[in-house]
Structure 1
């Protein structure tokens, strides 16, 4: 981003914030039922505008802000579902096997990364991966169930595994 453009973008976002923050916070508060979570997501919405480097065209501010906020609400809900499923799985284990808080945080972050990677895949690819990894089906069983060739199952699995691997690319 050019140094000259940055202050202009900041001014535009500041103007949008001043004009629409109250409305966005209220919309999110009604949607989430919690003023604190609404404040966090409203903040994240404007942060996304800054990071993207783009502001909405005139007259499109509220639909644009709402679209960003809806995505953040969906992401938040997905994270909560993953976290709750993980906590439920831990609760089902004997307390002697319970992971430390640090291990829980690391595992949860890994699960969220995998969830995000799988969510970005085409539905058919994601379904093949889930049938293999969670239902334990063989490639031939998946192919028969999905009505596709075994070679397609292999191709889809490669895509899904690559997405999972890339979710952790760059970690030590």
Structure 2
């Protein structure tokens, strides 16, 4: 088992000095955008700084890639949500269009929902969406997925508990 060490600013500084340029290039190729790559490279090292303990790194680039990949996925999800939201806004009549502040709050809420859903196992997420978005009853969901009503009930309890945990207890 690898030893856990307290993260020192010297450790992060060395990691940054040795790998920032490489990580920035890797992110540029993934994102095809220098500005977003710079932001995500910065955010990667901020995440490293926030860790209280750091596993002894045998593969620092793999470690940084894992963090950066998670940040890139969140970045792409946010872009997709933002694009879908903008397309929805474009279809609204002028008097209904929300203010910039309302748009930001709605986009933030959509991002929180996406994070909650991503944290659920695929089957639980599927059951939750069939119930909450498609409006199917538990028996309809059970029949559609070929599972028992009890499985649907347990999945819904799990999904709702995750929502409660994130929304009311901060994660």
TM-score (norm 2): 0.89
Distance 2:21 2:64 in 1: 12
TM norm structure 1: 0.88
Deviation at 1:136, TM superposition (A): 2.1
The answer (yes or no) to whether the contact 2:57–2:63 under 8 Å persists in 1 is no
- 2:8 is paired with a residue of what secondary structure? helix
Aligned equivalents of 2:105, 2:169: Cα separation in 1: 16
User: How far apart are residue 170 of structure 1 and its match?
Assistant: 5.6
Following superposition, the deviation at residue 151 of structure 1 comes to 2.1
2:143 corresponds to which residue?
144
**Counterpart Cα distance in 1 of 2:99 and 2:169:** 25
Superposition map of 1:124-163 within 5 A: 124-163=123-162
The alignment partner of 1:169 has SS state of: helix
Mean Cα deviation higher: 85-94 or 112-121: 85-94
User: What is the correspondence of 1:57-76 to structure 2 with a 5 Å cutoff?
Assistant: 57-76=56-75
RMSD: 1.8
Q: How far has the Cα of 1:40 moved from its partner?
A: 0.6
Q: How do 1:17-32 residues align onto structure 2 when only pairs under 5 Å count?
A: 17-32=16-31
Other structure's SS at 1:136 match:
coil
Residues 29 and 105 of structure 1: CA distance in aligned 2, closer, same or farther (over 3 Å): same
Q: 5+ residue gaps in structure 2?
A: none
| Aligned positions, number | 166
Which residue of structure 2 aligns with residue 123 of structure 1?
122
- Measured after TM superposition, the shift of residue 167 of structure 1 is 2.6
Matched residue, 1:102: 101
Aligned equivalents of 1:101, 1:20: Cα separation in 2: 38
Question: What CA distance in whole angstroms lies between the structure 1 residues aligned with 2:42 and 2:29?
Answer: 16
Please say which of residues 83-92 and 8-17 is displaced more in the overlay. Answer: 83-92
Q: What runs of 5+ residues in structure 1 fail to find an aligned partner? A: none
1:61-113 superposed Cα distances (whole Å, 9 cap, x missing partner): 11111111111111111111122222222222212111111111111111111
Relative to structure 2, which stretch is displaced further, 162-171 or 65-74? 162-171
CA contact (8 A) 1:9 1:54 kept: no
Displacement of 1:162 after TM fit? 2.5
Distance 1:50 1:97, change over 3 A: same
Query: How far did residue 56 of structure 1 move?
Result: 5.2
